[in-house]
Amino acid sequence: MSIQEFKARDLMKTDVISVHPDEKVAAVDLLMVRRSLGGIPIIEQETNKLVGIVTQRDIMLSRFRTSIAGMTVENLMTKNPITVSSDASIKELLGIMLSHRIERLPVVDNSKLVGMIEPESILNAIYKKLSSK
């Protein structure tokens, strides 16, 4: 398989940590720092659907505007984030990430989060492919 044939399923991280919209921002911030996560998907508890994403940058910028004490991630998250299916091509993924200037791209199949595309996961897959030649 050539690099051009890579699909989201070949590039995505599948061990994705997620939280619910009613989680406190301070707790999510701590979780992200401890796990070295730049962003985290927000999953609706009842339906298990992706409803948003919050990043370390979102939290950092919110601290300049208001106190995060008592705030839930629902108030801070980017609602209805851009997503792709696991069949999306690497060209499509990179096009979306570059044109929208995003570093995290949730992979959703049948309304369920199945993975996350991040620059590191793309680079790891490309490096492994190039190293196997």
pLDDT at 91 over 70: yes
What confidence tens digit (pLDDT) does each residue in 36-76 have?
999 999 999 888 899 999 999 999 888 777 777 788 999 99
pTM above 0.85, yes or no: yes
Q: For the domain that residue 72 is a member of, what is the CATH number?
A: 3.10.580.10
pLDDT at 10 over 90: yes
pLDDT at 3: 83
Summary count for the chain: helices (H), strands (E): 5, 5
* Res. 133 pLDDT band, cuts 50 70 90: low
pLDDT at 35 over 80: yes
Rg for the chain, CA atoms, rounded: 16
Burial 39-67 (b: 16+ CB within 10 A, else e): bbbbbeeeeeebbbbbbbebbeebeeeee
* Res. 18 pLDDT band, cuts 50 70 90: very high
In terms of residue numbers, what domain contains 99? Answer: 3-131
pLDDT at 4: 86
Domains held by the chain: number: 1
